[in-house]
Structure 1
Amino acid sequence: MTFTQELTLAEKVRFDFPILHQEVNGKPLVYFDNAATSQKPLLVIDTLRDYYEHYNANVHRGVHTLSAKATDAYEAARDKVAKFVNAKSRQEIVFTRNATEAINLVAYSWGMNNLQQGDEIILSVMEHHSNIFPGNLSLPKQVRCSNTWN
C-alpha cells in the first residue's frame, strides 16, 4: 500500500490494535471473543504502561504522593467518561474489571433490593453469559428466572 491510498475504516481500526497485525494460518487475525477478553488499542496499551511506570498505587486508599497521583488520574477518567455518556456527575460512573463483575454488582445491589416475588427476569441466548448466573444463583427464591432460547 502506498501513502496515497486511503485506508478503509476497518483498516484504520485494525491498525490501532497491535495484536491484529499478526496472521493466523496465513490470514489476518480476527478476534471475536470480546465477551471474555477484549483486545486493546495501542493508546490503551501505552496509557497502561505509563500508569504502571508513573502512577501505580492504591486509588482512594493512600496519603502518599503516588496514591494521590493515581487517585487524581482515576477521578479525571471518571469525569471524562461521565461527560462522554452525558452522566450528571462522576458519582454515576462505576468502573469494574469486566462484564461479569458489573452484572453481578447490579444483580446483588439493585436486584436484591428491587425485585420481588413474582417478578420475572427474561434472558435470551444473545445475553452475556454472566447475565445467566446471578439471577439463577441468588434470586430464585424470590424471583422467577426465565431463559428464553428461541
Structure 2
Amino acid sequence: MQSKATTVEEYMAALPADRQKAMAQLRKVIKKNLPKGFKETMSYGMIGYVVPHSKYPAGYHCKPEEPLPFLNIASQKNFISIYHMCVYGDAKLHKWFADEHAKRSTKKLDMGKSCIRYKKEEDIPYDLIGELASKITPDEWISIYESKYVR
C-alpha cells in the first residue's frame, strides 16, 4: 500500500489518528539515531531514509534516478512496517537484530527479508529500532550494497 503523498508531512497528516503516534515515534527515534549523511524523503510511497545522489550519484541500481534506499517506514493496512535494506544485505546485522528482538520483546519477530512488521503500536521496540538505525553509516551501506548488488 503506497501513499501518493509527495512530502513526509503530507504522508503523516494523511495517516489515521491511531497510526500517527506510532509513526511519529518511529521517525523521532530513527532521526535521533541515524548516522549523518542519510536524508529523510518520500521513497516508494513510504517515508524513506536514503543515501542522496549528492553522496552516491549512481543511485539505486533498479532505478538509478532514485537515491539509494536504506530504511523505510510505512503504515500498511494491517501493520506498521520497517524496511531495513541492510538487515537483508548483512547476515551479521540480521542475526544481531533477531537476537536482540527476542531479548527485548515479548512478541515473536514478524519479519521477511527486509520487512519488519508490527500489528500493534505497543509491540514496537522503539529503542531497538533506533539502535538498528545507528548501526550502519552511509559509507558502510554503500560498501555493502556495492559488494552484494552492483555488478
Query: Which bracket does the TM-score occupy, shorter chain normalised?
Result: under 0.3
TM-score (norm 1): 0.24
TM-score (norm 2): 0.24
Larger radius of gyration: 1
Tell me which protein shows more helix as a share of its residues.
Answer: 1
Tell me which protein shows more strand as a share of its residues.
Answer: 2
